[in-house]
A = this chain, B = another copy of it.
Amino acid sequence: MTRLLTGAPATDGFRMPAEYEPHAGCWMLWPERADNWREAARPAQLAFARVAAAIAQFEPVTVGVSTAHYSSARALLPGGVRVVEMAHDDAWMRDVGPTCVIDSAGVVRGVDWRFNAWGGLDGGLYFPWDQDDLVASKVLEIERLDRYRAPLVMEGGALHVDGQGTALVTEQCLLNPNRNPHLARADIEDALRVYLGVRTVIWLGLGLYNDETGGHIDDLACFVRPGEVCLTWTTNRRDPQYASSQDAWERLNDARDARGRRLRVARLPSPGPMHLSRREAAGIVPRPGTKARPPGERLAATYVNFYIANGGIVMPLLDPRTDRLAAQRLKLLFPGRRVVGVPGREILLGGGNIHCITQQIPRGLR
């Protein structure tokens, strides 16, 4: 039985657990849009299938697929991955799926944010997004988890938490007037406190350069454990990313988390810079109302967009010159987990990476 709840997580005693806490499983969606994924999304489907298979080594994976693509997806995905029909407008489960919260008794519930395709008719990436906005409730219904419908536009990729009362977000995204123009910074902090059960919000400035979501935190930095953050980094002063990583570094070093701790900040090297090739761009079928992808465009490439699974890290492989170094850093940062790399370029071409296409369900005591 899935109930639509009238209260709010924090007042009901719930908090969002960190991604490194135990999972019941992981949800994904299937890439299908020919106006976003080249060659009718087939290369992306192969890449998503490898991500699903990699995560399924660590925890149960479910993939939502449109009815039209059901049989081809079922054939491509490993037998151990659960495939269910689920309509969607694109494949970003992090952003359209539920943000789950848990209480001290181990009850898991979901927060169903309003979704407007990263900006609605004012800078959003496509129209319509009505099917995306139903995904969180459908996931919760299949999982039989109760649901809070949050009264604000938010995406899962726009927030990280440490599980101990601290949220990490960017001003570029959360204060963008194309999300919640009626809410001031303090109102948004209040909403995060109420819906994530956090006490402290750490604001960074800009997100990753040319990130089309408008600066999601999950392309810039994430918690590695309570008290420790890893940050996308570049040493190239001429890279447009340099200044915002520098700014984030300073803000993180000045910050205190909810328990009053200073943060350790680890730096992850950047791949590239990477750009959309002419051939890749030619494989995309443009459509009015969907964001264009011109050849030569800088891609929002970062190793920070990895997924933390039970006992594993599933990271994108993006650039042979830096992949190994990034993997080594992640192994040092997560000594208890096995680091698995999956080719990420095809996912990146669609506008995100492994963290963006996944959403964990915490392990409860149901």
Contact = CB atoms under 8 A, between A and B. Distances in A.
Interface of A: 1-4, 60, 66-67, 70-71, 79-80, 82-87, 134, 138, 141-142, 144
Contact of A2 (B4, B82, B142, B144): B82
Contacts of A1: 60, 79-80, 82
A85 B142 CA distance: 10
A144 B85 contact: no
Contacts of A142: 82, 84, 142
A226 B26 CA distance: 43
- Of A4, A141, A144, most buried by chain B (CB within 10 Å of CB) is A141
Contacts of A82: 1-2, 141-142, 144
Contact of A85 (B60, B67, B71, B79): B67
A210 B85 CA distance: 36
A304 to B, nearest CB: 30
A84 B87 contact: no
A144 B2 CA distance: 19
Contacts of A134: 70-71
Contacts of A2: 79, 82
B79 A4 contact: yes
A276 B144 CA distance: 40
